Every structure is written in structure tokens, then in C-alpha cells.
Amino acid sequence: MSACPVDPPPEENTFSAIFKNRNFRLLWTSQLFGQSAQNAILFVQMVMVEGLTRSSGLVGLMVLFYNLPSILFSLLSGVVIDRFRKKSILLFCNISRIFVVAAFIFFRHYARGVGLLTVVYILTFILSTIGQLSDPAESAMVPLLVPPHQLLTANSVFHLLFNVAQVLGLLFLAPLALKLGGVDGAFATISLTYLITALLLWPISTHEPQPDPRLAHNMWQNLWDELKAGWQFIIAEKSVLIAICQHALITMLTMIIAVLAPGFAARVLGMQPTDAIYIFFSAGLGMFLVTMWTGHLGHRFRRDILVAVGLLITGLALLGFTIIAWNSEATASTIPKPSQQVILQVIAMALMLGAGGTLAIVAAQTIVQERSPIAIRGRVITAEFLFANVSGLLPMLIISGLADFIGIPTVLMGLTTLIIVSALFSLRMSLKPKGKQSHVDSG
């Protein structure tokens, strides 16, 4: 890997140095509570709808209402984020969530049947719409709190936060709150968690330029021009466009692997579908290890090189899975169950998969943040989030269905080819001679 031309002192890029920054520490801690609550409430809502309807289809409809705002409002939220202070947006979002979550308790007691179910869907839609503002605003706020040379480390820490928040929200906060207080108690606990989030955000001090009131007033009149400005920048700035595409590629792969993992365990390896936990846990461990490495040493290397290496590691891991799958199919008639050696191979490949994917996403997101001017950073980041989420849905549905006809090993070989070719292309682009780059205002 090529080293950065200017290498800041190592002690300035450690996790401990990042957390000495009071404002960053408050933001990180607040989002640990907020993201945990966000993961917990979807679980509680699914439990509630299941209890009301005993219908998987109606639970799925609620999940659809949860995901719909990401398609409808992502780009609009980018315009809003660029026109108001990020801290004010985060405070508004979390204070609003307190009352929306409390509304679930109110309507559970004063609505019945179809009326209650309709209200649940509406409140779910509102909560998810709020999330379309808060998540990109949080990402856009990080460069305002840390110096440019610490941005990669800061993003690594935040990537770790999302993984920890999933565990805390889905495995601890939601189940414990439901067990101890029932559905009402769970909603009350989550509402309190959002209050803690808002209180932690309140003292944060940011060096953010005061938005021009005239821009906020004319925001809706010039909406199309605002949206167009963000996309024009992305298309014109090739490095940002490539980074967004790389982020989307890894997100798509993550969705596909999550769908294929149970079938890989059961149909290819001859294990129980639940044994896919070997893959998920090992991938999670890989994410954690590379997050620690990136936080301590990643700043020494160019971001685009890190993305390319992350993609290459991911491609090699997929190649390993493909070889394991072919060998397992070849020996299935003589060896019905996988040996300990095969299980260790699966664990090693899953660890590489998690490590490579995390390295690529963290570095790509850092490129987008660093090279986007502060005036349109919100629109660029929301476009990145939208493209990453939407571009993965259709391939996930098509490829998961294709696996039933041509087999999981063949699908894995196709994915391996796609990722390795993308890695080699990324490496070639990153090694091209670069002209003098203009510096954008990092805030």
C-alpha cells in the first residue's frame, strides 16, 4: 500500500486520542444510545404486530413501511441537512422520537383492531422518516468535530458503533425490556433512551457556519436545483462517484450473503440452517479486528488504496467459499457432514469477508466525507446512503432466486468474479498518477 505523503503523529490517530475530543465523545455516546434504540424498536414493533395479527405477511408489511421512507425521502433530507445546523437536526429528530414512541403506548390503550394496526404502520413510517434525517446528519457532523487527519479513525469508531448498537438493541435492550415490562415497558424504555440521546447531544459544540436564512426560506422553491447540485458534484468528482459505487457494491454483497448464508450452511455444507451463525459471528469478528487496525494504522495509507485492498480481501474470501462449496458438493455422497477442518475454513473465510468489507466501506465513506464541500455534504451523503441501500435490493432478490436454479457455488463464483474485477479496477484507478487535488472545506 502507498503511504500518505503527510503522516501525522501516530498518537493523534489512536482511539484514545479520538475519545479525548469531548464533542466527538458526546456524539459517539449519544449515537450508541440512539442507534441501540433504533435497532430495538423495530424488533418491538414486529413483536407487537405479530401479537396483534398472527400474520407474517402483516409483519412484512410493517417492515415495508419502515423501509419506504429511505426510497421516498433520502434525497430531500439531504437538502434539509445542508440548510440547517446538523446538531439542531439531530436534537429535533431525537426529541421527536421520544413523542412518537410514546404514542405507541397511548394508541395501544385507545385504539383497537384495524385502527390500531393502521396507527402502528403510520407511526412506523414517521419514525423511519425521522431516521432519514438523523443518520446522514450524524455522518455529516463527524467531519465538523475532528481534524481531517483523524477522519478515517473517527469513521472506524462509528462503524464499530453500528455493530455494537445492533447487538445492544436486538439482543439486550429489546428482549430485556419486553421480558421485564411487556410491549408498553419496551416502548417506555426506548423513549427514555431517545431522551438520553438528546441530553448527550445538547452540550456538543461545533464549528459549523451559520446557515443563510434566505437559503432555508427558498429551499422548497429551489428544490430541483438543490438536488441537481448534489448529483452534478458526484458525477463531476470521479473519486467520490467511485467511492459511492464501491460502498454500494459491498452493501449489495452483504445483503446477498445474509440471504445465502443459511442455504450455504444447510444445502452445501449439510449443517443446520442456524449454523450460519458461524459465518455471521466470524464476519463480525473480522469487522471488529479491521476496525481496530484502521483506527490505529489506517491513516498511514491512502483511502483509495484501502478500498481496493478491502475489495481484494473480500474477493479472495468469496473465492475461498466457492472452493469450499465445490469440495463439499464433490464429497457430499461419501462425507455427509463437514469435518472440523471445513468448519475452520468457513470461519477463516467469513473473518476475511467481514474484514475486507469493513475496510472498503470505512475508507470509501471517508473519501466521500473528505472530498465533499460542506455546502453540499448532506446531499452527497444522503445520495450515497440511498444508492447503497436501493442498488442492493433488486440484485439480492434476483441472485437469491437464481441460487435455487443454478446452485449456490455457481452464484458464489459469479460474485467472486465481480468483486475481484472491481478490486483490480479500483487498484488500477488508485495507482494512476494524480494531478494536484483541490482541498475542500472540511468544516
The DSSP secondary-structure symbol of 271 reads S
Cα–Cα distance between 144 and 205 in angstroms, integer?
Answer: 10
What was the pLDDT predicted at 394?
A: 75
* Domains of the chain with CATH codes: 11-204 (1.20.1250.20), 227-431 (1.20.1250.20)
pLDDT at 283: 83
Residue showing cell 452445501: 268
Instruction: To the nearest 10°, report the CA torsion of 293, 297, 301, 305.
Output: 0
pLDDT at 338 over 90: no
pLDDT band at 168 (very low <50, low <70, confident <90, very high): confident
Cα separation values, 184 from 47, 103, 362, Å? 12, 10, 37
From CA 282, how far away is CA 399, in angstroms rounded? Answer: 23
pLDDT given for residue 56 in this prediction: 64
Measured distance CA(228)–CA(237) in Å, rounded? 14
Is 130 a residue whose pLDDT tops 80?
yes
Of 381 and 122, the structure prediction assigns the larger pLDDT to 122
Residue of 85, 21, 16, 28 whose CA lies nearest to 200: 28
Among all chains, which residue has been given the C-alpha cell 457494491?
249
pLDDT beyond 50 at 5: no
Work out the percent of the chain whose per-residue pLDDT is above 70: 86
Residues in CB range of 106: below 8 A, 6 or more apart: none
pLDDT beyond 50 at 2: no
Q: Helix crossing, 74-83 with 86-110: angle to 10°?
A: 130
pLDDT tens digit sequence for 245-276: 999 999 889 878 877 777 787 777 777 765 66
pLDDT digits (tens, 9 = 90+) for 289-325: 888 888 778 888 899 999 999 999 999 999 999 998 8
Name the grid cell of 117: 394496526
Mean pLDDT calculated for residue range 142-162: 86
Q: How many residues appear in the chain?
A: 443
Q: What is the pLDDT of residue 3?
A: 45
Please tell me the predicted confidence (pLDDT) of residue 277.
66
Question: Taking the model in full, what pTM does it have?
Answer: 0.72
